[in-house]
Amino acid sequence: MPNFKIHIAAGIYTYPLYLLAFYLISELIKISLDIDPVTITFGFLLYVLGSDLPDIDAGESLARRIAEVLITVIVASAIFAEILLKYVYTVLAEIVPFQFISIPLLFFVSILAGTLISKLLKLFKHRGFLHSIWATLIYGGIVFGTAFSIRSYSLKDSLFLSLAAFFGYNLHRFLDMVMKGG
């Protein structure tokens, strides 16, 4: 069964093949798809990330441990900034007039919420939903939607990035199928 090192190495060393296929197809269909170096580099990150991302459902895998930390930090930060500071802080400030107590308390609550949400990864069984074509499509779709709307990438750049994510994720699935234990 492929491990973290194999999945990541495969992602790193097959990305040039993705680039080659992307540019060959654009030549064949006669459309100019010049992608800037920053987008190519970001595509590399998404491709390599995708090459091990399905294993966030695997017990004590490195991918899962990293995902749990990232989910905790991102969710805690979002809850603190977008919910607790906006809606709870003013009420709490009336009860506890000392900012040196209320702000750390609210942040602690947001960390607890982020940690709880990160533990939801344990609900996925290994090689279940996160190893399916649906998860692959969701990952590619999230990348496309995020790139196109939030970062204001062009349609072609968003397509390039979402395809990099999609094929990196599928690389993982392919390796699991063809290697021992897959």
Q: Is the pLDDT of residue 116 over 70?
A: yes
Task: Name the one residue in this structure whose structure tokens are 């977008």.
Answer: 82
Mean pLDDT, residues 123-140: 80
Q: Where are the domains of the chain?
A: 1-58+127-182, 60-125
pLDDT in tens, 76-92: 988 888 888 888 877 77
Task: Name the one residue in this structure whose structure tokens are 């802080």.
Answer: 89
Residue 148's pLDDT is 87
Three-state secondary structure string covering the chain: CCCHHHHHHHHHHHHHHHHHHHHHHHHHCCCCCCCCHHHHHHHHHHHHHHCCHHHHHCCCCHHHHHHHHHHHHHHHHHHHHHHHHHHHHHHHHHHCCCHHHHHHHHHHHHHHHHHHHHHHHHHCCCCCHHHCHHHHHHHHHHHHHHHHHHCCCCHHHHHHHHHHHHHHHHHHHHHHHHCCCC
pTM: 0.73
pLDDT in tens, 16-48: 999 999 989 888 988 877 888 999 999 999 999
Report how far residue 170's alpha carbon sits from residue 47's, in angstroms, rounded to the nearest whole number: 10
